[in-house]
Every structure is written in C-alpha cells, then in structure tokens.
C-alpha cells in the first residue's frame, strides 16, 4: 500500500477570486488518492515579520503555522507575480517559517513551486526569485517540471477545475515528482525505530 502524503498549499494571494488559490485547489483535485493537499488559509492575518516577536513573544498565528508546516510532508507554493517578483504575502509567510535560523520548518522540506497570471509569462520571473529565496531556507526545491500558468483567467471552468490539457499534464507531473521527492526524503531520514 502506498504511504499517505500530506502537502500544504501556500497561495501568495488572499484575493477572493485569486487564480493562484484556484490553482492550488485544482491541484488538490488532480492529486492521487494517497496525496492530500490542504490549502492554507488566513496567511494575511500573520503580522509583518519582526524579530522582536521571536521566542516567548511569538504570535499564536505564527506558532500555529509553524506547527502545521512541521507536521506536513511537503509544500506547494503558488504565488502571483507582482512587479516581476512574488507577493509580499508569500515573502512574509516564508520569513516566519524560516526562523529560528537553520532550524526553521522549511529546512529540508520538499517544496514545489508554481504560479498563475493572466499575462503570457505566467510568473516565470517571480518563480526564479522564489527559487533563490528557498535556497536560503535550505528547502529541497523541486527543479522539474517548471510550471508557469499564463493566460490563467481562461483556464478554469466554473467549478474551478483546470481545463487546459497540456498544463494539466504538467500539474500532475508536478505533484507526482513532489511525492517522489517526499518519499526519497523519508528514506534518507534515520528511522525512529532504528535509534
């Protein structure tokens, strides 16, 4: 039997009709039966990152987020591109998850990146920057496939399903490859039973 895999989806937009949030929900429907993708909510309620809050002053929303991410097997980030970069919400979320230094919950975490935009380039510029940031957090970033969803406003049906065939294949490949990376990460970790 295949092992259960729990993935959290981080959308860089809390806009009610967000294409990036829609994309994550569409991904969760494309995932195989053993893979669960939960799209995180409430990220806009996190305060702006402030190192003064680390330690005993950590806001409950951050405590809860770090716990939730620490219990996940992997992450998928879908962020809008704002002025050629990923959104401030995405960065703020990553900054909170990156601390304490070298012990943040993103360290060694398998992470896949995607993004949706109405424009033709489909977040290619911002995804490249996001890769660099996730290098700083010591995350295991999936390198292939690179999935840039351009013209995204025309690629969902009224029920939120992703309708474009070529893109759908790439999204399925993205989940499959992330699941493989998660399994490889598990195999490389020392077994609790062995200690």
Ligand X SMILES: Cc1cc2nc3c(=O)[nH]c(=O)nc-3n(C[C@H](O)[C@H](O)[C@H](O)COP(=O)(O)O)c2cc1C
Binding residues vs ligand X (CB under 6 A): 13, 15, 18-20, 80-84, 117-119, 121
CB closer to ligand X, 57 vs 83: 83
CB closer to ligand X, 17 vs 102: 17
Angle at 141 between CA 39 and CA 35, to 5 degrees: 40
> CB 160 → ligand X: shortest distance, Å?
13
Beta bridge partners of 86: 81
Q: Are 161 and 29 in contact (CB under 8 A)?
A: yes
* DSSP letters spanning 57-111: G--HHHHHHHHHHHT-SEEEEE--EETTEE-HHHHHHHHHHT-STTTSTTTT-EE
CB closer to ligand X, 5 vs 76: 76
Hey, how many other C-beta atoms are within 10 angstroms of the C-beta on 101?
8
CB closer to ligand X, 53 vs 82: 82
Q: Closest by alpha carbon to 106, among 146, 60, 72, 142?
A: 72
State the residue number with the nearest CB to ligand X. 80
> CB 186 → ligand X: shortest distance, Å?
31
CB closer to ligand X, 20 vs 137: 20
> CB 39 → ligand X: shortest distance, Å?
12
Q: Are 84 and 113 in contact (CB under 8 A)?
A: no
> CB 40 → ligand X: shortest distance, Å?
14
> CB 136 → ligand X: shortest distance, Å?
22
């Amino acid at each position: 039997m295949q092992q259960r895999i729990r993935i959290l989806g981080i959308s860089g937009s809390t806009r009610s009709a967000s294409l990036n949030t829609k994309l994550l929900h569409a991904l969760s429907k494309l995932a195989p039966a053993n893979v669960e993708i939960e799209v995180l909510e409430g990220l806009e309620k996190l305060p702006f990152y402030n190192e003064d809050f680390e330690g005993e002053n950590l806001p409950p929303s951050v405590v809860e987020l770090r716990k939730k991410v620490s219990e996940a097997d992997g992450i998928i980030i879908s962020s809008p591109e704002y002025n050629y970069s990923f959104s401030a919400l995405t960065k703020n979320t990553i900054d909170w998850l990156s601390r304490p230094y070298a012990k943040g919950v993103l360290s060694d975490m398998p992470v896949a990146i995607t993004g949706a935009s109405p424009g033709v380039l489909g977040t290619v510029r911002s995804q490249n920057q996001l890769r660099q940031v996730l290098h700083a957090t010591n995350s295991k970033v999936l390198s292939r496939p690179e999935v840039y969803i351009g013209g995204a406003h025309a690629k969902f049906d009224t029920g939120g399903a992703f309708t474009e065939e070529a893109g759908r294949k790439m999204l399925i490949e993205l989940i499959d490859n992330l699941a493989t990376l998660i399994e490889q990460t598990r195999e490389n970790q020392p077994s609790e039973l062995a200690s």
